[in-house]
C-alpha cells in the first residue's frame, strides 16, 4: 500500500501584497445570470488567454434553463495543461447579485473578487481582495437600454479582468473577432466597452493583481471546439447522410452542428441538391425508428440523445440488435434517473446502454474522452455499425459535449470507409446463393444485401420475430438458439474491433487505475500528484465495450486496481467484474456522482483513503 | 363520503413557496395568476386538486401551485393523469402541457385521453416553439418558420390543436389567450365546470424564442378587430364597434361588414353542440379570419370513470358482490 498525503489544490494561495505573483496557474469563476449574453464574454476571456499561448479550459455550470437563473462559468488557466475542474477558484467575477454572498464565501484566502460596484450590498472578507467596477456609467455611455445593458455589463468585466490578469486588449479583439465571425461592427462595439472598462480599471484600481497571465507557446496550432461540434464534424467525415432526433439537453448542439456543417459540405456538385436529411422527430422512439429504417437501406444514419431518450429507445434498440441493422446513437450523458439533473454531467448510462433491449441484448459502446476522440469516433462508430451490422452507442457526456476544449487539429481519416459485408448483384451472380443470417466466415457476422439490389436472390425480409438463417419466420427451438448463439459469436468478434484501451504503465507501480471518458483529466492530474509523492501508478482508459484481451491482461498485472467513474453504483466496475470474474476481487470501485466534472483532489483523496484503510488492515494482521 | 370542512379559500392558498421562475415577460405568469384566482371560486377542497405536467417551460407550472401534483416525464402526463382519474374519481385533475410536450412526443397519449373522455382538464400552452431546449420548431410552428433546427424554414404542415382535439371527439374544446386575462379566467371556469375531458388551447407568448408569434391579435387595443369571442346561441359578431361578422357562404366562412348588405340575421349563430360548426371555427386562422376565442364545442357524454363504474355495477348486479373466502374455497380457482 502506498502512503499518500491528503491532497490539496495545486496552488498554495498567496497572501497579498507581499508574495510573489502566481503565473498561469489558477482558476476563475464567473458568476452571472443565465441569458444575459455572458457566454460571449466568457468565451472572449477564454479565447484571449488561449491566444496568448496558455493552456486553458472552460466549463459552464448552468441551471436547467430559464432565463435569469444563476450560472457559473469556470475558467482554468494551467501552464501544465491540466483541464480538470478545480474545487477552488482563486478568482471570482461577482456579477450576479443574487449569489454574491455564497460566491464570495467560496473564495479561498488570498483570492480576488471583481464585483459590480452598482450592487446594493456586498459581503466583506478581510482575507480576500475585493475590487469593484461600476457598470452603470458604461451603460449610460453606450446609450443602450434594457437587455442590451446586460451585454455591456459582461464586456465591462471582460475589460476589467483583462487589466487585472494582464491580458492585452489586442487578444480580446482577436477573440471577439472569432466569436462574431469577423463581423467587425459587432466586434468594434463590444471592444469599445472592453477598452473603456480596461482604462477605468487602469485609472481607478489601486491594486497589482497577483494572478497574471503571461504569454507561452503551448497552444500554437491548437484550436478550441466542443465535443458535440467535433462529433458532428466526425459524423460528416464518416459519411452521415441521415439523422433523426428529438431536442434534449445536452445533445442538441450536436445536431445543431450537423445542421451547420451539412448544408456547406453535402451538396451534389452537379445539381446543388442536398445529399442528406436531418429530421426533428416527434419523440425519441420515432428518432431511432427512422434511423433504423435508413440504416437498413444502407444509409449512414445517426441520432443524438441523452438518458431519457435512451430509455425510450429500448425496444427499438432490441430490434436493431436482433434484425442486425446498423445505426449510430450518440448518448451525451446527463444525470438521472428520470429528468434528474438535465444540465449536469455524469457517466450513469453505461450498464443500461450496454444491455439496452429486453431479452439477451448486448450492445457495442464507444467512450470518447476528448474532442479529438469525438471526431474520431464520429467516423469509427459508422464503420463499426456497418462491420458488425448492429446499433453502436457512443457515450459522451455533457462536460465533453457542451464545453470548449483545446485540441490539435483533426486529421482526415486514414482508412477508407468500411461498409462491412454487403453483397452486390454481381456477387450473387457469382455465388448463386444468399442466406441473410448464415455465418459464412465463422465470425458471427452474416452478409447483407441492400434494397435496390436487382438480383432475384437479393430480397429478404427483416423481422424482429424469430427467424432462421434464411430470414424466414421460425419458432423452431433450434433455429432460435442457433441464431442467438451466432449473435453472441458476433459480439465476441466485436471485442477485436472496438478501439483498444489506452494504457500508461510505470515501473514499480503500486496499483492500477481504470477509467473511461472525461474522468481522464482528473486522473492524469491525480497521477502526477501521486507521482510527486513517490507513488507510481498504472492507468488504463477504456475506449469501448465489450472489453478485449488487452483489458484483461492489464487487470492481471496489478494486485489491486481502482475503477474510477462518475456514477453512484460503479457501473463499469460491475461490467469488468462480470467479464473478468477470475480477477473480480482485484477491482475496487471508486464511484462518485454529484453532477459536476471530476476533480483530481477527489481522486487522490478517494485513493488515499482506500490505501490508508489497507495499511490499517495489514498492520492489524 | 368524508365530510369536508368548508373553508373560504383565497388566491394565496394556491401560491406555493417556490419562487416563480420563467423568463421575464413570459406568458406563463399570467396563466398562473388566473389559475390561482379561479381555483378558490370552484368550491373544491384544495386537497382534491391535482396538477400534472410533463417537461418543458409550461410543465414547471405545478411547481408554483400549492396543490398536490406530479412533475412527470416528457409527453406522458396524460397517462399518469388518466390512471389517477380512473383510480380516484373524486379528484379534480389538471394537466398542464405545451405544444411540444402535448403534440410531438405526447401526441398519442393526448389523443387517447381525449378519446376516452377521462375527467381531466388539459391546458395546452401554445407558443409554437420549443423554449426550454432553446428555440427549435414545434409541431405547431408555421410552415417556413426559421429556427435553430429548421435553419432553412420548416417544411412541415403544423398541427392545429383544436382540430386535433375535435377529431379525438373531445367533449370540451376551447381557446384563450395569455394576455387576455379576464377572458382566460372565464374559459378556465368553463373548463373546470365541464365533466369529461376539457381541452383548452392557450395562445402563449415566448418572449425569448418566438416573441412575435401573436402579433396582430395580442394587443389589447386592436384585439377586438382581429379575434372573435364566442357565445353559445349568439351570432358571430366582432370588431371594436361590433360592425363585423362571420357568415357561411356555401361551406366557407366569410367575414362581412354589418350595416350595409349584411345584417345580424345573415350570420352564423354559435352552437357549442355542433361538431360540424366546431371544425369550421377551428379552421378560422389569423390573418385571413378572426381566430375564435372561448368555448368552441361542449357536449355532455359519459365520462370514462362513469362508464367504468357502470360496468362494475352491472357486473355486481349480475354476479353479486365478490366474496374472497368463497373464492378461496371454490374448486378450480386456478384454471387459466
**What pLDDT score does B3 carry?**
52
Question: What distance in Å separates the CA atoms of residue B149 and residue A244, rounded to the nearest whole number?
Answer: 11
> 3-class SS at B311?
helix
**What pLDDT score does B291 carry?**
97
Do residues A333 and A377 make contact, with C-beta atoms less than 8 angstroms apart? no
Burial track B135-165 (b if 16+ CB lie within 10 A, e otherwise):
bbbbbbbeeebebbbbeeebeeebbbbbebb
Instruction: Report whether pLDDT(A466) > 90.
Output: yes
Task: Write the DSSP assignment of B77-112 as a string of letters.
Answer: HHHHHHHHHHH-TT-EEEEEEEHHIIIIITHHHHHH
**What pLDDT score does B325 carry?**
75
Chain B residues whose C-beta sits inside 8 Å of any chain A C-beta: 21-24, 55, 57, 60, 71, 73-75, 100, 104-107, 130, 132-134, 136-137, 139, 148-152, 208
Chain A residues whose C-beta sits inside 8 Å of any chain B C-beta: 35, 64-69, 246-249, 252, 255-256, 259-260, 263, 278, 280, 282-284, 308, 338-339
**What pLDDT score does B313 carry?**
82
Question: What distance in Å separates the CA atoms of residue B5 and residue B325, rounded to the nearest whole number?
Answer: 38
Strand partners, B70: B52
Longest dimension (CA), chain A: 88
- Taking the CA atoms of B322, B328, B329 and B335 in sequence, report the sign of the dihedral they define: positive
Please state the φ and ψ torsions of residue A3, each to the nearest 5 degrees. -90, 120
Do residues A232 and A257 make contact, with C-beta atoms less than 8 angstroms apart? yes
Nearest to A2 by CA among A559, A540, A525: A559
Question: What distance in Å separates the CA atoms of residue A269 and residue A278, rounded to the nearest whole number?
Answer: 20
Do residues B201 and B177 make contact, with C-beta atoms less than 8 angstroms apart? no
Question: What distance in Å separates the CA atoms of residue B189 and residue B92, rounded to the nearest whole number?
Answer: 13
Cβ distance of B57 and A66 shorter than 8 Å? yes
Cα B7 to chain centroid, rounded: 28
Q: What's the grid cell of residue B288?
A: 385571413
Residues of chain A with pLDDT > 70: what percent?
96
Mutation for B interface: A34, A64, A66, most B CBs within 10 A: A66
Other CB atoms within 10 A of residue B248 CB = 14
Instruction: Report whether pLDDT(A219) > 90.
Output: yes
B249 DSSP 8-state letter? E
Give the minimum alpha-carbon distance from A36 to chain B in angstroms, rounded to a whole number. 11
Question: What distance in Å separates the CA atoms of residue A446 and residue A518, rounded to the nearest whole number?
Answer: 35
Strand partners, B250: none
**What pLDDT score does A12 carry?**
38
Instruction: Report whether pLDDT(A18) > 90.
Output: no
**What pLDDT score does A296 carry?**
93
Q: Which residues of A touch B105 (CB under 8 A)?
A: 246, 282-284
Q: Which residues of B touch A283 (CB under 8 A)?
A: 74-75, 104-106
Cβ distance of A282 and B22 shorter than 8 Å? no
Q: Which residues of A touch B149 (CB under 8 A)?
A: 247, 255-256, 259, 278, 280
CA atoms within 13 A on the CB side of B157: 1
Cβ distance of A252 and B60 shorter than 8 Å? no
CA atoms within 13 A on the CB side of A287: 30
Instruction: Report whether pLDDT(A512) > 50.
Output: yes
Burial track A357-376 (b if 16+ CB lie within 10 A, e otherwise):
beeebbbbbbbbbbbbbbbb
| C-alpha distance across the termini of chain B, in Å | 38
Other CB atoms within 10 A of residue B242 CB = 11
Task: Write the DSSP assignment of A139-207 as a string of letters.
Answer: HHHHT--THHHHHHHHHHHHHHHHHHHT--HHHHHHHHHHHTTT-HHHHHHHHHHHHHHHHHHHHH---
* CB-closest option in A66, A255, A338 to B22: A66
Span A111-127, average pLDDT: 93
Instruction: Report whether pLDDT(A338) > 50.
Output: yes
Between A212 and B5, name the one with better pLDDT: A212
> What is the pLDDT confidence band of residue A10, given thresholds at 50, 70 and 90?
very low
Cβ distance of B73 and A339 shorter than 8 Å? yes
Question: What distance in Å separates the CA atoms of residue A534 and residue A145, rounded to the nearest whole number?
Answer: 59
Q: In what order do the strands lie in the sheet with B198-203?
A: B68-71, B49-53, B92-98, B120-126, B198-203, B172-177, B292-298, B228-229
For the segment B183-238, what is each residue's pLDDT rounded down to a tens digit?
999 999 999 999 999 999 999 999 999 999 999 898 888 899 999 999 999 999 99
**What pLDDT score does B315 carry?**
82
Do residues A312 and A338 make contact, with C-beta atoms less than 8 angstroms apart? no
> 3-class SS at B65?
strand
Q: Which residues of A touch B22 (CB under 8 A)?
A: 66
Cβ distance of A247 and B21 shorter than 8 Å? no
> 3-class SS at A535?
coil
- Taking the CA atoms of B48, B49, B53 and B59 in sequence, report the sign of the dihedral they define: negative
Span A582-603, average pLDDT: 96
Give the minimum alpha-carbon distance from A505 to chain B in angstroms, rounded to a whole number. 43
Give the minimum alpha-carbon distance from A256 to chain B in angstroms, rounded to a whole number. 6
> What is the pLDDT confidence band of residue A187, given thresholds at 50, 70 and 90?
very high
Question: What distance in Å separates the CA atoms of residue B336 and residue B331, rounded to the nearest whole number?
Answer: 13
**What pLDDT score does A141 carry?**
87
Task: Write the DSSP assignment of A54-109 as a string of letters.
Answer: --EEEEEE--SS-TTSEEEEEEEEETT---SBPS--SEEEE--TTTHHHHHHTSPT
What average pLDDT is seen over chain B?
Answer: 92
**What pLDDT score does A44 carry?**
97
CA atoms within 13 A on the CB side of A502: 12
Helix and strand numbers, DSSP H then E, in chain A: 20, 22
Do residues A389 and A323 make contact, with C-beta atoms less than 8 angstroms apart? no
Query: Which chain B residue's Cα is nearest to A280?
Result: B149
For the segment A235-288, what is each residue's pLDDT rounded down to a tens digit?
999 999 999 999 999 999 999 999 999 988 888 888 888 889 999 999 999 999
Give the minimum alpha-carbon distance from A395 to chain B in angstroms, rounded to a whole number. 21
Cβ distance of B151 and A66 shorter than 8 Å? no
Strand partners, A332: A396
Do residues B81 and B118 make contact, with C-beta atoms less than 8 angstroms apart? yes
**What does pTM read for this prediction?**
0.91
> What is the pLDDT confidence band of residue A7, given thresholds at 50, 70 and 90?
very low
What average pLDDT is seen over chain A?
Answer: 93
**What pLDDT score does B8 carry?**
86
| C-alpha distance across the termini of chain A, in Å | 14
Q: Pick the range with the lowest mean pLDDT from A543-552, B7-16, B175-184, B317-326.
A: B317-326
Query: Which chain A residue's Cα is nearest to B100?
Result: A282
Query: Which chain B residue's Cα is nearest to A338?
Result: B73
Give the minimum alpha-carbon distance from B175 to chain A in angstroms, rounded to a whole number. 24
Instruction: Report whether pLDDT(A475) > 50.
Output: yes
Instruction: Report whether pLDDT(A448) > 70.
Output: yes
Cβ distance of A65 and B137 shorter than 8 Å? no
Q: Which residues of A touch B136 (CB under 8 A)?
A: 247, 252, 280
Q: What's the grid cell of residue A327?
A: 445505426
* CB-closest option in B105, B134, B137 to A283: B105
Instruction: Report whether pLDDT(A150) > 90.
Output: no
Q: Which residues of B touch A228 (CB under 8 A)?
A: none
Question: What distance in Å separates the CA atoms of residue B122 and residue B85, rounded to the nearest whole number?
Answer: 13
For the segment B223-279, what is each residue's pLDDT rounded down to a tens digit?
999 999 999 999 999 999 999 999 999 999 999 999 999 999 999 999 999 999 999
For the segment A380-429, what is each residue's pLDDT rounded down to a tens digit?
999 999 999 999 999 999 999 999 999 999 999 888 999 999 999 999 99
Show the beta-strand stretches assigned E in chain B: 49-53, 68-71, 92-98, 120-126, 172-177, 198-203, 228-229, 237-238, 244-249, 252-257, 292-298
- Taking the CA atoms of A288, A293, A297 and A299 in sequence, report the sign of the dihedral they define: negative
CA atoms within 13 A on the CB side of B177: 19
Instruction: Report whether pLDDT(B22) > 70.
Output: yes
Between B335 and A29, name the one with better pLDDT: A29
Task: Write the DSSP assignment of A345-361 as a string of letters.
Answer: -----HHHHHT-SSSS-
Span A481-488, average pLDDT: 98
Query: What is each CA distance from A618 to A3, A6, A534, A559, A584, in whole angstroms?
Result: 13, 20, 21, 15, 21
B276 DSSP 8-state letter? H
Amino acid at each position: 500500500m502506498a502512503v499518500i498525503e491528503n491532497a490539496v489544490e495545486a496552488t498554495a494561495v498567496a497572501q497579498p501584497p507581499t508574495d510573489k505573483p502566481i503565473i498561469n496557474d489558477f482558476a476563475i469563476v464567473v458568476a452571472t445570470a443565465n441569458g444575459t449574453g455572458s457566454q460571449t464574454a466568457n468565451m472572449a476571456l477564454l479565447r484571449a488567454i488561449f491566444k496568448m499561448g496558455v493552456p486553458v479550459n472552460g466549463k459552464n455550470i448552468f441551471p436547467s434553463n430559464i432565463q435569469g437563473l444563476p450560472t457559473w462559468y469556470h475558467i482554468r488557466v494551467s501552464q501544465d495543461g491540466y483541464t480538470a475542474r478545480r474545487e477552488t477558484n482563486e478568482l471570482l467575477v461577482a456579477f450576479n447579485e443574487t449569489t454574491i454572498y455564497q460566491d464570495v464565501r467560496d473564495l479561498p484566502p488570498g483570492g480576488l473578487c471583481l464585483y459590480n460596484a452598482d450592487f446594493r450590498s456586498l459581503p466583506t472578507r478581510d482575507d480576500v481582495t475585493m475590487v469593484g467596477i461600476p457598470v452603470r456609467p458604461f451603460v449610460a455611455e453606450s446609450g443602450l437600454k434594457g437587455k442590451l445593458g446586460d451585454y455591456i455589463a459582461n464586456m465591462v468585466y471582460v475589460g476589467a479582468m483583462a487589466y487585472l490578469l494582464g491580458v492585452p486588449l489586442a487578444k480580446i479583439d482577436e477573440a471577439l473577432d472569432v466569436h462574431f465571425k469577423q463581423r467587425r461592427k459587432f466586434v468594434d462595439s463590444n471592444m469599445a466597452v472592453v477598452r473603456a472598462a480596461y482604462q477605468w480599471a487602469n485609472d481607478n484600481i489601486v491594486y497589482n493583481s497577483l494572478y497574471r497571465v503571461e504569454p507561452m507557446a503551448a497552444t500554437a496550432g491548437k484550436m478550441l471546439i466542443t465535443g458535440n461540434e467535433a462529433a458532428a464534424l466526425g459524423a460528416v467525415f464518416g459519411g452521415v447522410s441521415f439523422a433523426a432526433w428529438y431536442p434534449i439537453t445536452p445533445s442538441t448542439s450536436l445536431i445543431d452542428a450537423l445542421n451547420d456543417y451539412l448544408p456547406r459540405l453535402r451538396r451534389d456538385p452537379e445539381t446543388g441538391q442536398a445529399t442528406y436529411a436531418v429530421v426533428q422527430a416527434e419523440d425519441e422512439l420515432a428518432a431511432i425508428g427512422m434511423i433504423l429504417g435508413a440504416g437498413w437501406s444502407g444509409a449512414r444514419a445517426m441520432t443524438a440523445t441523452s438518458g431519457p431518450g435512451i430509455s425510450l429507445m429500448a425496444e427499438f434498440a432490441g430490434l436493431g440488435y436482433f434484425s442486425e441493422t446498423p445505426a449510430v446513437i450518440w448518448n451525451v450523458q446527463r444525470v438521472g434517473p428520470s429528468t434528474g439533473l438535465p444540465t449536469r454531467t455524469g457517466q450513469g448510462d453505461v450498464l443500461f446502454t450496454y444491455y439496452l433491449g429486453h431479452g439477451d441484448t448486448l450492445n457495442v459502446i464507444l467512450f470518447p474522452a476528448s474532442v479529438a476522440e469525438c471526431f474520431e469516433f464520429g467516423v469509427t462508430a459508422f464503420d463499426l455499425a456497418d462491420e458488425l451490422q448492429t446499433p453502436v452507442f457512443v457515450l459522451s457526456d455533457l462536460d465533453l459535449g457542451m464545453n470548449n476544449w483545446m485540441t490539435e487539429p483533426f486529421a482526415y481519416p486514414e482508412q477508407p470507409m468500411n461498409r462491412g459485408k454487403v453483397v452486390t448483384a454481381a456477387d450473387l451472380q457469382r455465388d448463386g446463393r444468399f442466406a441473410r443470417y448464415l455465418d459464412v466466415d465463422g465470425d458471427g457476422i452474416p452478409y447483407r444485401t441492400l434494397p435496390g439490389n436487382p438480383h432475384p436472390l437479393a430480397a429478404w425480409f427483416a423481422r424482429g420475430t424469430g427467424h432462421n438463417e434464411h430470414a424466414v419466420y421460425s419458432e423452431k427451438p433450434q433455429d432460435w438458439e442457433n441464431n442467438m448463439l451466432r449473435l453472441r459469436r458476433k459480439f465476441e468478434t466485436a471485442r477485436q474491433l472496438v478501439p483498444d484501451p489506452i494504457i500508461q504503465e510505470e515501473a514499480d507501480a503500486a496499483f492500477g487505475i481504470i477509467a473511461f471518458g472525461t474522468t481522464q483529466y482528473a486522473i492524469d492530474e491525480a497521477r502526477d500528484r501521486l507521482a510527486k509523492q513517490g507513488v507510481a501508478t498504472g492507468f488504463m482508459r477504456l475506449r469501448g465495450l465489450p472489453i478485449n484481451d488487452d483489458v484483461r491482461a492489464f487487470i492481471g498485472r496489478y494486485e489491486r486496481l481502482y475503477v474510477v467513474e462518475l456514477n453512484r453504483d460503479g457501473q463499469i466496475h460491475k461490467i469488468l467484474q462480470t467479464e473478468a470474474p477470475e480477477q473480480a476481487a482485484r477491482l475496487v470501485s471508486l464511484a462518485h456522482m454529484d453532477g459536476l466534472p471530476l476533480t483530481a483532489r477527489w481522486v487522490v483523496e478517494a485513493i488515499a483513503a482506500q490505501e490508508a484503510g489497507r495499511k490499517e488492515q495489514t498492520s492489524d494482521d | 363520503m368524508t365530510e369536508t370542512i368548508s373553508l373560504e379559500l383565497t388566491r394565496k392558498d394556491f401560491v406555493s413557496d417556490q419562487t416563480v421562475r420563467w423568463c421575464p415577460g413570459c406568458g406563463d405568469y399570467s396563466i398562473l395568476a388566473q389559475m390561482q384566482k379561479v381555483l378558490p371560486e370552484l368550491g373544491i377542497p384544495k386537497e382534491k386538486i391535482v396538477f400534472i405536467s410533463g417537461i418543458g417551460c409550461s410543465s414547471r407550472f405545478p411547481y408554483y401551485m400549492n396543490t398536490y401534483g406530479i412533475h412527470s416525464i416528457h409527453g406522458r402526463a396524460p397517462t399518469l393523469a388518466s390512471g389517477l382519474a380512473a383510480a380516484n374519481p373524486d379528484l379534480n385533475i389538471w394537466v398542464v402541457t405545451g405544444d411540444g410536450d402535448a403534440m410531438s412526443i405526447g401526441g398519442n397519449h393526448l389523443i387517447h385521453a381525449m378519446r376516452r373522455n377521462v375527467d381531466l382538464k388539459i391546458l395546452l400552452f401554445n407558443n409554437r416553439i420549443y423554449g426550454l431546449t432553446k428555440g427549435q420548431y414545434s409541431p405547431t410552428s408555421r410552415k417556413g418558420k426559421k429556427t435553430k433546427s429548421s435553419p432553412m424554414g420548416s417544411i412541415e404542415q403544423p398541427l392545429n390543436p383544436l382540430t386535433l382535439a375535435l377529431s379525438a371527439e373531445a367533449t370540451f374544446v376551447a381557446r384563450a389567450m395569455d394576455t387576455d386575462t379576464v377572458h382566460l379566467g372565464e374559459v378556465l371556469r368553463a373548463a373546470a365546470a365541464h365533466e369529461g375531458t376539457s381541452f383548452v388551447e392557450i395562445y402563449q407568448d415566448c418572449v425569448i424564442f418566438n416573441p412575435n408569434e401573436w402579433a396582430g391579435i395580442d394587443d389589447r387595443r386592436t384585439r377586438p378587430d382581429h379575434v372573435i369571442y364566442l357565445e353559445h346561441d349568439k351570432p358571430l359578431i366582432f370588431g371594436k364597434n361590433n360592425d363585423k361578422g362571420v357568415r357561411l357562404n356555401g361551406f366557407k366562412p366569410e367575414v362581412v361588414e354589418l350595416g350595409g348588405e349584411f345584417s345580424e340575421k345573415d350570420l352564423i349563430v354559435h352552437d357549442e353542440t355542433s361538431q360540424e360548426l366546431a371544425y369550421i371555427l377551428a379552421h378560422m386562422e389569423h390573418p385571413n379570419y378572426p381566430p375564435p376565442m372561448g368555448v368552441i364545442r361542449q357536449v355532455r357524454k359519459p365520462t370514462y370513470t362513469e362508464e367504468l363504474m357502470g360496468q362494475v355495477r352491472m357486473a355486481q348486479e349480475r354476479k353479486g358482490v365478490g366474496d374472497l373466502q368463497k373464492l378461496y374455497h371454490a374448486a378450480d380457482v386456478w384454471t387459466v
